[in-house]
Amino acid sequence: VIKACLFDLDGVLVDTAKYHFIAWRELAEELGFVFTEQDNERLKGVSRAASLNILLEIGGLEFDEAEKARLAEQKNNRYVEYIAKMDSSEILPGALSFLKECREVGIKVALGSASKNAMTILNNTGLTPYFDAIIDGTHTSAAKPDPEVFLLGAQAVSVPAEHCVVFEDAEAGILAANRAGMSSVGIGSPETLAEANFVVPSLAQISVAKLQELFAAV
Ligand code: BG6
Ligand code: MG
């Protein structure tokens, strides 16, 4: 039986993956190289500092730590400008009704996000009240695929890992769920999320009944 749903934020509940992409692409442009949507897959679910390292590797560039901190801040300042304008219209299809349904039937709801901007996004979109626990990039020390963020989420809602299901759009996030000993549902394409137990295009294909049916064995 599934007793807790742990949600990634960017690309699962809200359409912020596009803002991360745009902000990184702008930085790459300024540094003089092209950063494609395919490159961007490698950044999904990855922390800001690790994302910058991947971006610089793609561009074939090296900087010292102080300069890297400045570049990460530059990207984040731009990203923050985008998310400041967000509202509930940017909640992804099916997300709100599924969150409501979980709460109605008593399934615990937790956030497991790498982002340090998670609270701004949850507040601007009105999603904050739907969570029993919120674990984000300000609470974690190890980035996905490390399971820390989801283990902390499960602990916060007092549900053992085997009764938790993680919803993720990033490969690193699915690996984190697997390492945490949790079930997983990939949101996106089966090619990028091959390690997930199931993959659906969006949360619009998910309901509590569907979930209990998919994970009848747990
Ligand atoms: C993840 C995103 O949710 O958060 C990554 O998928 C992002 O793309 C990471 O780098 C960290 O986010 P932030 O807001 O702290 O820069
Ligand atoms: Mg994500």
pTM, 2 dp: 0.94
CA of 104 to the centre of ligand 1 (A): 30
Alpha carbon nearest to ligand 1 atom 12, residue: 115
Residue 87 has pLDDT above 90, yes or no: yes
Residues 6+ apart with CB under 8 A from 109: 4, 5, 7, 99, 102, 103, 130, 131, 132, 133, 157
Residue 218 has pLDDT above 90, yes or no: no
Ligand 1 contact via 188 beta carbon (within 6 Å): no
pLDDT in tens, 38-76: 999 889 888 999 999 999 999 999 999 999 999 999 999
The full DSSP string for 168-189 is ESSHHHHHHHHHTT-EEEEES-
Task: Give the whole-angstrom CA distance, residue 177 versus residue 147.
Answer: 6
**Measuring CA to CA, which residue among 77, 43, 81 is closest to residue 59?**
43
pLDDT band at residue 17 using 50, 70 and 90 as cut-offs: confident
**Could you give the percent of the chain with pLDDT greater than 90?**
95
CA of 136 to the centre of ligand 1 (A): 10
Q: What pLDDT shows up at residue 18?
A: 92
